[in-house]
Amino acid sequence: MSMHRSLKSASKVATRRNVLKRFERIELMKAQGKWKEGDRGRGLPKIKPPI
């Protein structure tokens, strides 16, 4: 019996996401100098992942 096609793709490498998660955005903003300690983690600008 063959495996269902939706289960086959789970083993492949994850696709590239369009926008970073909150903690990833904060880390990137810290590296760029746009984040100050004590800033709020809500309402952050959407940042595309680096290539």
Task: Encode the chain (51 residues) as per-residue pLDDT tens digits.
Answer: 788 877 776 555 567 778 888 999 999 999 999 888 888 888 888 888 877
In this prediction, residue 38 carries a pLDDT of 85
Q: Are 48 and 18 in contact (CB under 8 A)?
A: yes
The Cα–Cα gap between 26 and 29 comes to 5
Q: In the prediction, which pLDDT does 10 show?
A: 53
The confidence score (pLDDT) of residue 31 equals 92
Residue pair 34/28 in contact by the 8 Å Cβ criterion:
no
What's the Cα-to-Cα distance from 32 to each of 8, 25, 28, 47, rounded to whole Å? 39, 10, 6, 12
